[in-house]
Structure 1
Amino acid sequence: MNDQAGQQVARRRVFYIPGYDPFPPRRYRELYRSEGAAQAKISGYNIEITGDPGAKTFGWDVVGHMDGAQTRARIDVLVWSDIVLGSMDQGIVATYRQLLRTAWIYIASGALFRLMRLRKGPVIAALYPVVMLLAQLGVALAVARGVGAVLGLTGLPWVGWLGLAAVWPVLRWFRARDGRLFAWYLMHDYAHSAAFWGAYPPEIESRMAQFRAQIAQALQSDVDEVLVIGHSSGAYLAVSILADLLRDGRGAGPALALLTLGQVIPMVSFLPNANRLRADLNFLAGRDDLTWVDVTAPGDGCTFALCDPVAVTGVAPADQRGPLVLSAAFTQTLSPERWAALRWRFFRLHFQYLCAFDRPGDYDYFRITAGPVTLGARFAGRAPSKSAVSLPVSRYRTMAA
């Protein structure tokens, strides 16, 4: 896409809301630094990144030199990794209880079968930790049985039962190596999202209120655009945060935009108690004072690619204005060599939206966050991707009053 003539943004505030991520926010600064440098080299512009030791929030400052203009941006990460770490602090027995409870929530509510009608990729991703944890339990029991058989050779009938003691260390061994399999991590992720059958946990509501206050303050500052970015699970948090902010009325101010990346909104909005989220989706979709662009890619198996989160949830208003559903088109925006290197690295692909493309299209994370054009102007007049899905699928469509 050709950039619009003239500089619309000299100063920008960006708020990035990560998904269910236990890692400290500095990883996003380093990712922005390395991938921004790579994209700048490919696309022929310049990005300068500096820290801000005096800031009360975690973030960094960016100066973008693009299209003959200079743009300054402050990017803040809205941190909830401490909540994630707390929810992951579960023992082995508690994790298997989570497995049973979470599976029951999605099956009993019918949400699992509805989600399968959208995209199989994220549903497979949701089933993956269930299958893996059950498989690991099966291995542990097999080891226990073998140990019991050996002990049974002593001739003492009760000694064979001591083999069950092997179950615990085997499961601990699997959990200690989850950095490669991600089964325990994903189990905690889905269990946390579904714990209240779609309603937000109290600690999340409290943190969202803090985030909302930070964004509201930025809207009172002397900037040209306030851009909120929600990635993965952070996408539905961003929707609810901005819905609350706009309901309170923000008055005149800078352009306000929402960019959702790799969203998994239906995983929550399809659950019976997600009344608040469904109301927030309905509310934001009808606003004309907000630009909302939703970017996903069919190559990302962890997202509901090209699914309009408002429409598929069945809460689209009659005058729906957003989101604009676009594809990052990994098979086109990544060279064949790069795509071949990444296509089976599912979790890495889920973060590709934040990374450099060696054959960039009109989606460029660094032009959007550090360039001279607002999100609204950048995609003005752009039609949704042809493969966008807007068929209402969710069984539950009630909304909070």
Structure 2
Amino acid sequence: MPAFKRKIFYLSGFDPRGARFYHQLFAEQADAYGRTAGRPLEISKRRRLPPHSTAWSVEDRQAGVETDYVFLGWDDVVRTHWAKNPLALLKRSLTAYWNFTRLLDWPIVKNFPFGVRFAFYYPGISTILLPILFGIILTLPLGALLGWRWGLAAAALIGAAVAMFVVRKIQGFWLLRFIIFNDTLAKDRLPADVDDRMAAFADQIQAAFDEDWDEILFVTHSNGSIMAVPIVARLLERCGNRLPDRFSLVTLGSCIALIGNRKDSKRFHALLESVGQGDFRWLDIGSITDGACIAGIDPCISCAQPRKARLFQTSPRWFKYCDPATYEARRRNKYETHFDYLRTFDRISPLDYIAISAGPRPLEASIDAFKAENHV
């Protein structure tokens, strides 16, 4: 019998990639963790958990730890809301940007890290303003060379090509779809398929409360942190506003404040208020080097009542656990930085994702160890 049994429910962000991608990523990072820690981890093959989830087991035999890892699948739902037509994507992006710009609570938003505000608008600027700017710059020389009609057409094509290169390089189309989806969420127009799926996930997590686990972690990444709000709100409603002591919510690269600070997101605000008033442990990790998360801002900053949930919020401090060359290389790839919460680096942090997923310490002890190492 293992000395410590853990259950993890993992909810990804707005990502059409499913369990296969995340299982492979986890296995690769577990292998790196095992080499660094000197204790190999055994990762099983995936197994289906109908109707929507996938599971695999993680075992650290030397430490006597066994983890049952459940990937909460909503990638099929994401794909149904993944705008494909370029013109529709552009039109819906303009609408979403307009809604966010006029409806965000700017006295709060101005306190967000600058990189977040820059990253939020950069895909739109690259898609809309760059073609216009390059077109203006190129129109005069190309018009003189080719004639005004052909010169204008060539300038427009070159401007669009340059803009598309920039947008693809920064994964801008993914960010535009992220913005569109969350604009829909903020306006309380989220289709029933998303609500139904989150309710099913709440059922799965609640069922684990009656099982024999030493620890239950609900881990979310990116947009999954926003979707965690209705799930945790349901769990609190069913459990008398207090979740079991062995349960913890872990939000990685969270962007809850993006919707929490939209003036029109009445339903989400009500759910966030109930989550903030709940009794449970909450670990929130976000880096200011990650422009796709809102780091260092209390997720419940827009709530009317002071938060009661036991939140510990921190930076991952990757610079401390990476060799300088590794750190600089990671920072240059902004898209991959957003997934570094799920990776292992040159030295193992107490809050390394594989460590809290498969290691022998309960989350509370890992948080205490991180505080001691970093004097926080």
- Superposed CA deviations along residues 345-377 of structure 1, whole A, max 9, x for unmatched, are 111111111100212332121121112332234
Paired position in structure 2 for 1:348? 336
Q: Measured at CA, do residues 168 and 90 of structure 1 come closer, stay the same or move farther in structure 2, by a change above 3 Å?
A: farther
Matched, 1:221 2:211: yes
Matched, 1:102 2:75: no
Q: State the alpha-carbon separation in 2 of the partners of residues 236 and 248 from structure 1.
A: 20
Q: How does 1:145-224 map onto structure 2 within 5 Å?
A: 160=149, 179-199=168-188, 201-202=190-191, 203-224=193-214
Secondary structure class of the residue paired with 2:41: strand
* Aligned amino acid, residue 183 of structure 2: A
Paired position in structure 1 for 2:252? 261
Paired position in structure 2 for 1:313? 302
Paired position in structure 1 for 2:271? 280
Task: Name the structure with the higher helix share.
Answer: 2
Secondary structure class of the residue paired with 1:29: helix
Preserved CA contact (<8 Å) 2:74 2:197: yes
Preserved CA contact (<8 Å) 1:327 1:385: no
| Pick aligned residue for 1:329 from 291, 294, 317 | 317
Q: State the alpha-carbon separation in 2 of the partners of residues 18 and 123 from structure 1.
A: 22
TM-superposed CA distance for 1:233, in Å, is 0.9
TM-superposed CA distance for 1:145, in Å, is 9.4
Q: State the alpha-carbon separation in 1 of the partners of residues 227 and 48 from structure 2.
A: 27
Tell me the matched-pair count. 371
* Aligned amino acid, residue 256 of structure 1: F
| Pick aligned residue for 1:119 from 107, 113, 123 | 113
Paired position in structure 2 for 1:61? 57
Q: Measured at CA, do residues 173 and 27 of structure 1 come closer, stay the same or move farther in structure 2, by a change above 3 Å?
A: farther
* Aligned amino acid, residue 26 of structure 1: R
- Superposed CA deviations along residues 153-174 of structure 1, whole A, max 9, x for unmatched, are 8xxxxxx499769968985896
Preserved CA contact (<8 Å) 1:12 1:74: yes
Matched, 1:235 2:225: yes
Preserved CA contact (<8 Å) 1:49 1:61: yes
TM-superposed CA distance for 1:177, in Å, is 8.6
Paired position in structure 2 for 1:74? 68
Q: State the alpha-carbon separation in 2 of the partners of residues 9 and 242 from structure 1.
A: 28
Q: State the alpha-carbon separation in 2 of the partners of residues 49 and 351 from structure 1.
A: 20
Q: Measured at CA, do residues 301 and 178 of structure 1 come closer, stay the same or move farther in structure 2, by a change above 3 Å?
A: closer
Q: State the alpha-carbon separation in 1 of the partners of residues 225 and 370 from structure 2.
A: 21
- Superposed CA deviations along residues 214-273 of structure 1, whole A, max 9, x for unmatched, are 212222323222211111111121132012122112899672111001111111110123
Q: State the alpha-carbon separation in 2 of the partners of residues 227 and 25 from structure 1.
A: 18
Secondary structure class of the residue paired with 1:73: strand
Preserved CA contact (<8 Å) 1:325 1:385: no
Q: State the alpha-carbon separation in 2 of the partners of residues 213 and 164 from structure 1.
A: 56
* Aligned amino acid, residue 199 of structure 1: D
Preserved CA contact (<8 Å) 2:286 2:294: yes
Preserved CA contact (<8 Å) 1:285 1:323: no
Q: Measured at CA, do residues 184 and 325 of structure 1 come closer, stay the same or move farther in structure 2, by a change above 3 Å?
A: same
Paired position in structure 1 for 2:294? 304
Preserved CA contact (<8 Å) 1:220 1:253: no
Q: State the alpha-carbon separation in 2 of the partners of residues 287 and 144 from structure 1.
A: 59
Q: State the alpha-carbon separation in 2 of the partners of residues 385 and 286 from structure 1.
A: 30
* Aligned amino acid, residue 5 of structure 2: R
* Aligned amino acid, residue 233 of structure 1: N
Q: TM-score scaled by structure 2? A: 0.85
TM-superposed CA distance for 1:62, in Å, is 0.7
* Aligned amino acid, residue 180 of structure 1: K
* Aligned amino acid, residue 169 of structure 2: R
TM-superposed CA distance for 1:206, in Å, is 1.9
Q: State the alpha-carbon separation in 2 of the partners of residues 373 and 331 from structure 1.
A: 23
- Superposed CA deviations along residues 191-215 of structure 1, whole A, max 9, x for unmatched, are 1101253536123212211211221
* Aligned amino acid, residue 336 of structure 1: P
Please report the RMSD computed on the Cα atoms of aligned residues, expressed in angstroms: 3.5
Preserved CA contact (<8 Å) 1:261 1:295: yes
* Aligned amino acid, residue 59 of structure 1: A
TM-superposed CA distance for 1:189, in Å, is 0.8
Q: State the alpha-carbon separation in 2 of the partners of residues 246 and 41 from structure 1.
A: 40
| Pick aligned residue for 2:9 from 7, 15, 32 | 15
Preserved CA contact (<8 Å) 1:257 1:291: yes
Secondary structure class of the residue paired with 2:44: strand
Preserved CA contact (<8 Å) 2:350 2:369: no
Preserved CA contact (<8 Å) 2:5 2:214: yes
Higher relative contact order (CA 8 A, sep 6+): 1
Preserved CA contact (<8 Å) 1:334 1:360: no
Q: State the alpha-carbon separation in 2 of the partners of residues 192 and 273 from structure 1.
A: 15
